[in-house]
Amino acid sequence: MATAHPASATLPVPESTPGRLPPRRAGWTLPQPYFNDPGIYRLDIERIWKRGWLFAGHLCEIPRTGDYFLVELDTESVIVIRGEGDTVHALHNVCRHRGSVICTEPCGHATRLVCPYHQWAYDLDGRLVAWRGMQPDLDKADFALWPVAVREVEGLIFLCLAPEPPPFEAAAACLGPLARPQGFGRAKVAKAVDYLVKANWKVVWENNRECYHCNVNHPQYIQANFDHYNADDTPSRVREAMASVVARSEARWSAEGLATTHTDTGMTVFPDAARGIWFSANRTALVDGWVSESMDGRQVAPLMGDYRDPDVGTLRMRTLPNFWNHSSCDHGVSTRLLPLGPQQTAIRVWWLVAEHAVEGRDYDLTKVMPFWQLTSEQDWEICERQQKGINTSAYHPGPYSAFKEYNVEGFVRWYLEMLEKVGMRKAEG
Ligand code: FES
Ligand SMILES: [Fe+2]
């Protein structure tokens, strides 16, 4: 999908001043300031959130030319809009006249983007097309909306606020083939729920990257999955059960590229801090008898995408710093994080189904939603409790489990490397 934009200039982004980061002991949690210090939060925004590729939303949310939604990060506001001829544009939501925001609703439809202040009007690709009362020696071509880099892969839209975005090709090559059969481009949003979680965004990721907490906190999730077993505690009966599901998947689906790719208990290794890998995707087995991450494991909506049979395990994707997705044969669940401050994270969870599925006839939200609604809300509560404890004078870093929190250590390493990338002094002791 083309993303051409008329403005050749890129918006300059100010550099923040490097400083000394509190040291961390390898294999231990981060010191308190990483979770509540406004200065470190600013560094997070400048060095990670304004540099990396952010998941914005789904192509199926803007099916018609002129449909748009906003992505608001820190003080930034970006319009993601469907343009002419199947294009998607991302534009800073800031008028080139005196700086008013242009779109004021979180989503909508526009034939032109008209500033509410003095009605400068922009085309869907950001070109300025009308400005009443301006002198003739000025050229409209110099006043297009500032563009934001945007990429779409299999119905998932990503944007990057950096003037020179990091490469996206490897991420597209990783996510694309696994996401394709799910048919996100032919999906519809059955429901989206917004949460304001009172925790630093890293607390939320650290929680996502381990299943040490699952046995007690996620009674629904552990019925369907093998993630919560690790090298130290996988009973032989579980190992055999998993091997049999994996072998069945291999026999049925290898020819179609739908066989499970994550074949061990425990969570897949992500991120890969040593190689700077911020994206990953895999297909994971569900416990025998489960074909969907629903409350009873049964199919709860029509098959999505290219699937012809429900027994395809789950597709899982994640990209740092703000996206993960679990998709079953019949519905997909996307989660997007956007930090709102050192101790606040805006989280949106979407439930997607096949585009022609009709609520009440083909699916029922009370069956599609609870598995991930419960699991998500259980996690948000955990995160808020942890943030509260971290804020006290009694918080001191604690050690990670090498068996169960290998990905949390990986996440922290990735995070520190991103922070230190531009002239920062090493934070790791
Ligand atoms: S600020 Fe937008 S038209 Fe004046
Ligand atoms: Fe969890």
3-state secondary structure of 15: coil
User: Which residues are CB-contacts of 10 (< 8 A; sequence separation ≥ 6)?
Assistant: 146, 147, 163, 164
Task: Report, as an integer, the average pLDDT of 127-148.
Answer: 98
Task: Report, as an integer, the average pLDDT of 377-381.
Answer: 98
Percentage of the chain exceeding pLDDT 90: 83
Percentage of the chain exceeding pLDDT 70: 94
Could you identify the atom of ligand 1 that is nearest to the CA of residue 115?
Answer: 2
DSSP 258-274: -S-SB-SSSPPP--BTT
Task: Report, as an integer, the average pLDDT of 12-36.
Answer: 80
- Alpha carbon separation from 270 to 172, 279, 317, 323, 421 (Å, rounded): 17, 8, 10, 13, 20
pLDDT tens per residue across span 57-100:
999 999 999 999 999 999 999 999 999 988 999 999 999 999 99
Mean of pLDDT over the chain: 93
| Type of residue found at 64 | R
Task: Report, as an integer, the average pLDDT of 272-300.
Answer: 94
Q: Which of 96, 113, 120, 143 to mutate to test the pocket of ligand 1 (most atoms within 8 A of CB)?
A: 120
Residue 15 has pLDDT above 60, yes or no: no
**Amino acid 231: pLDDT:** 86
pLDDT tens per residue across span 158-203:
999 999 999 999 999 999 999 999 999 999 999 999 999 999 999 9
Rounded CA-CA distance 315/255 in Å is: 17
Which ligand minimizes its atom distance to the CA of 206?
Answer: 2
**Amino acid 17: pLDDT:** 44
* Angle at which helices 201-208 and 370-390 cross, to 10°: 130
Distance 210 CA to ligand 2 centre (A): 7
Placement of tokens 């040593």 in the chain: 274
Q: Of 343, 352, 378, which is closest to residue 220 (Cα–Cα)? A: 378
Task: Report, as an integer, the average pLDDT of 238-243.
Answer: 90
pLDDT tens per residue across span 321-361:
999 999 999 999 999 999 999 999 999 999 999 999 999 99
Rounded CA-CA distance 295/273 in Å is: 34
Token readout for 82 is 């469907």
Q: Which of 77, 103, 112, 117 to mutate to test the pocket of ligand 1 (most atoms within 8 A of CB)?
A: 117
Neighbours of 195 (CB within 10 A): 14
**Which amino acid residue places its CA nearest to atom 4 of ligand 1?**
118
Neighbours of 296 (CB within 10 A): 13
φ, ψ of residue 29 to 5 degrees: the values are: -70, 160
Neighbours of 169 (CB within 10 A): 8
Distance 207 CA to ligand 2 centre (A): 6
Which ligand minimizes its atom distance to the CA of 386?
Answer: 2
Could you identify the atom of ligand 1 that is nearest to the CA of residue 118?
Answer: 3
Q: Of 296, 301, 347, which is closest to residue 322 (Cα–Cα)? A: 347
**Amino acid 41: pLDDT:** 97
Using alpha carbons only, give the angle 91, 168, 43 rounded to the nearest 5 degrees. 70
**Amino acid 276: pLDDT:** 83
